[in-house]
Amino acid sequence: MTAVAPARSGATERPAPPPRDAVLRCRGLVKRYGSTTVVDDLSLAIAPGEAYGLLGPNGAGKTTSISMLVGLLAPDAGEVEVGGHRLADAPAAFKGAVGYVPQDLALYGDLTARENLNFFGRLYGLSGRALARRVLDVLDQVRLADRADDRTETFSGGMKRRVNIAAALLHEPDLLVLDEPTVGVDPQSRTAILDGIAELNAGGMAVLYTSHYMEEVERLCDRIGILDRGRMIAEGSRRELVERLDQADRIVLDVDGDAEALARACAEAPGVRHVAHAHRQVTLMVGAGRSALPQVLVRAAEVGVAVTGAHVIEPDLEAVFLHLTGKALRDGA
């Protein structure tokens, strides 16, 4: 085993600088309830077209934070700008730029999906043909056009959630803010929701997504903020966050031949911290698995061992969270 500092392997990832022309920006947001500070000095910025994930366990302050960001809850300190406008100075521009999907469902069960959306559309000042067209468009976007005229009380939880998302899209916002939209929904709706959000984002809409499901945030988001007890404890792309850990990647090789010989040959390769072998399998702990793999394959060829399978397993955001807070992301979930 050798103790070698890992090479960095993030060169192919999109870098994550703080955006300059932000669609949303907040500075120093604070919210207190009694003597408890539930959001503590939160600052973040989201660029046009960016997908930003706010990740944190139950009670971390995600809902409180985004309630302040979308203008539903007054902060005790700090300020929020949407498209350069503050809510107090330009309420119409501020609200027009943001679509908000709350954590709790807000639908009239005895109305159809279309009727619900007509209602919400009128709240946004839409009417007539323009409203009818937007309702059709958004039902299409959430893949519910075929259920437009069914009462929403007959919908599954996931379908209701999709109507809620449709409502937030009616006024064509620049930024879509979603508070844990896949909690408690069936797998089919979950996929539809995640695919739909990815599609909207690919079409240029900025997204602020909160979740305690790290795999959703990893899949959807360019940049991730980790929130714990009201504080932003880390921010960056998935790769940047994982690299902070300085944790090893794992390379698992399926081999046909002398596994022990290959293990010996790899033990001194650059970046390799630990090697283990079993019958037909060699496992290496390395600083940067993807960049170490070619070198490992060369050594396998040198010792005459055929590699029939190779997997690089990288530490995930769960590991990052555990490292930063000492607790699992899913605590209490």
Ligand X SMILES: Nc1ncnc2c1ncn2[C@@H]1O[C@H](COP(=O)(O)OP(=O)(O)OP(=O)(O)O)[C@@H](O)[C@H]1O
Least distance (Å) from ligand X to the CB of residue 227?
Answer: 7
Q: Is 74 in the site for ligand X (CB under 6 A)?
A: no
**From the CB of residue 254, how many other CB atoms can be counted at a distance below 10 Å?**
14
Nearer to ligand X, 177 or 259 (CB): 177
Q: Which of residues 74-103 bind Mg ion (CB under 5 A)?
A: 103
C-alpha span between 249 and 16 (Å, rounded): 22
Helix (H/G/I), strand (E/B), else coil: 84: coil
- Decide which of Mg ion, ligand X, none touches 56; Cβ closer than 5 to 8 Å per partner kind: ligand X
- In the list 63, 65, 112, 291, the residue contacting Mg ion (rule: CB under 5 A) is 63
Nearer to ligand X, 294 or 332 (CB): 332
| Residue 276 near residue 263, CB atoms below 8 Å | yes
Residues 6+ apart with CB under 8 A from 241: 224, 226, 234, 235, 317, 320
Q: Which of 225, 304, 235 lies closest to 55, judged by CA?
A: 225
Q: Residues of 295-322 as b/e, b for ≥16 C-beta within 10 angstroms?
A: ebeebbeeeebebeebebebbbbebbbe
Nearer to ligand X, 73 or 307 (CB): 73
Q: Is 65 in the site for Mg ion (CB under 5 A)?
A: no
Using CA of residue 265, residue 269, residue 275, residue 281, what is the dihedral sign? negative
- In the list 10, 48, 49, 59, the residue contacting ligand X (rule: CB under 6 A) is 59
- In the list 6, 19, 53, 61, the residue contacting ligand X (rule: CB under 6 A) is 61
Least distance (Å) from ligand X to the CB of residue 304?
Answer: 54
Residue type, 40: D
Nearer to ligand X, 58 or 156 (CB): 58
Nearer to ligand X, 56 or 96 (CB): 56
Residue type, 223: R
Q: Which of residues 95-134 bind ligand X (CB under 6 A)?
A: 103
Least distance (Å) from ligand X to the CB of residue 212?
Answer: 6
Which window, 56-64, 193-201, 266-274, 317-325, contacts ligand X (CB under 6 A)? 56-64
Q: Which residues bind ligand X (CB under 6 A)?
A: 33, 38, 56, 58-64, 103, 212
